[in-house]
Amino acid sequence: MGPLSSPLRLPVIDFSKENLRPGTSSWASTCKEVIQALEEYGCFEAVYDKVPLELHKTFFNLLEELYDLPLEIKRKNVSDIPYHGYVGNQPFTPSVYQGMGINNAATLEGTQDFTNAIWPNGNDDFCKTALHYSKLIAELEQMVMKMVFESYGVVQSHEDHQESITYLFRMMKYRVPEKDEDDVGVPIHTDKCFIAALHQNEVSGLELRTKDGQWIVFEPSSPSSFVVNAGDALMLHADAIDFSQAWANGRLHIPCHRVMMSGKETRYSIGLFASPKAGYLVKTPEKYVDEEHPLPYKPFDYVEFLKFRQSQAGYETALKSYHPFNAYCGV
């Protein structure tokens, strides 16, 4: 096989280094790799062994048990925010897909709320494991976000940013399509969050689109790998910074992606999505706005935005643009 036929791969970035701490040379070189990858692909493969393999395995076993519960139990995972609760077995969702969500994940309250809704007598094992697991993944995302802020020269805003976010932990099951059944697991979309970290069992299916329209199938190079993916809210943030500070090449790519099912095995995956908290107004910090650099987007409430996306008007907007922030809050 010549180089032309070798499949495209995501950049691989090692987050397992011993002393990956701000101020060290490995931190500085990893920052560079992160920004290059986010600007070119909007995503990368993070090798992150702070989540022990045993924990991945334990959690994915619990996930199988969770999905073996009757549908009426799984439907107890409700949320008034679109795609934050149980999704599946409805005419408008892909037939092979089911997803459930822990809101306010990486906190004891959030994880307990989920557990108590599904198991009224509690399920300590699930609760503890999900909490530990999501906290470790959140640490990876926090590192990546700190690197983004540092690279764009606004590291002092990272703490405020950290205060403004909440985590949604989504757990997905994709069954093998039947003969002649649609093999789409998740239709093409961009994530709406700031940043997401995704991990899968040994079954691939996640495909991410490059700037020039080619599809990269995520084939992890190690069992400790995550896809780190930039969402629409991060583009907004980076645009604002870029705008105000006239950074050359400071624009992130937000990759469209999808899940396609093939083969004969059930796919499980998880994603931790860092998003603005409900009621929190996403806006360009005032210090970046002046006559020369007018507001790039109108301030908006993220959860209201998600609700808009769910409405008929939002649906029609999404058909026209994969980057619906412009349509929703463009100046």
Of the candidates 141, 150, 191, 207, which one interacts with Fe ion according to CB under 5 A? 191
Cβ distance to ligand AKG smaller for residue 172 or 216: 172
Taking the complex as a whole, how short is the minimal distance between the CB of residue 225 and Fe ion, in angstroms? 17
Cβ distance to ligand AKG smaller for residue 42 or 296: 42
From 318, 319, 326, 274, select the one nearest 300 (Cα to Cα): 326
Taking the complex as a whole, how short is the minimal distance between the CB of residue 257 and ligand AKG, in angstroms? 5
From 205, 206, 207, 204, select the one nearest 216 (Cα to Cα): 207
Cβ distance to ligand AKG smaller for residue 131 or 172: 172
Return the half-sphere exposure (C-beta side, CA atoms, 13 A cut-off) of residue 268.
16
Burial class, 48, CB count within 10 angstroms (exposed 0-12 / middle 13-18 / buried 19+): buried
Q: Binding of ligand AKG at residue 274 (CB under 6 A)?
A: no
Q: Binding of ligand AKG at residue 198 (CB under 6 A)?
A: yes
Of the candidates 77, 112, 151, 200, which one interacts with ligand AKG according to CB under 6 A? 200
Number of residues in contact with Fe ion under rule CB under 5 A = 1
User: Is residue 168 within 8 Å of 100, Cβ to Cβ?
Assistant: no
Q: Binding of ligand AKG at residue 84 (CB under 6 A)?
A: no
CA dist 257 to 35, 153, 189, Å?
A: 20, 29, 6
Q: What is the CA radius of gyration of the chain?
A: 20
Q: Binding of Fe ion at residue 232 (CB under 5 A)?
A: no
Of the candidates 74, 84, 161, 170, which one interacts with ligand AKG according to CB under 6 A? 170
Taking the complex as a whole, how short is the minimal distance between the CB of residue 29 and ligand AKG, in angstroms? 28
Q: What are the residues whose beta carbons fall under 8 Å from the beta carbon of 315, sequence distance 6 or more?
A: 309
Q: Binding of Fe ion at residue 150 (CB under 5 A)?
A: no
Kindly provide the b/e burial profile for residues 174-210, where b requires at least 16 CB atoms within 10 angstroms of the residue's own CB. Answer: bbebeeeeeebbbeeebbbbbbbbbbbbebbbbbbbb
3-state secondary structure of 220: coil
Query: Which range touches ligand AKG (CB under 6 A), out of 20-28, 42-50, 52-60, 198-206?
Result: 198-206
Structure tokens at 278: 């409900």
Q: How far is CA 218 from the centre of its chain?
A: 14
3-state secondary structure of 193: coil
Q: Give the residue nearest to ligand AKG (CB).
A: 269
Q: Give the residue nearest to Fe ion (CB).
A: 191
Cβ distance to ligand AKG smaller for residue 154 or 270: 270
DSSP state letter for 284: -
User: Is residue 13 within 8 Å of 34, Cβ to Cβ?
Assistant: yes
Q: Binding of ligand AKG at residue 269 (CB under 6 A)?
A: yes
**Residue 35 binds which entry of Fe ion, ligand AKG, none, CB below 5-8 Å type-dependent:** none
Cβ distance to ligand AKG smaller for residue 169 or 308: 169
Q: Binding of ligand AKG at residue 191 (CB under 6 A)?
A: yes
Instruction: Give the torsion sign (CA, 296, 302, 304, 309).
Output: positive
Q: Binding of ligand AKG at residue 271 (CB under 6 A)?
A: yes
Of the candidates 74, 84, 161, 257, which one interacts with ligand AKG according to CB under 6 A? 257
Residues that bind ligand AKG (CB under 6 A): 170, 172, 186, 191, 198, 200, 206, 257, 259, 269, 271
Residues that bind Fe ion (CB under 5 A): 191
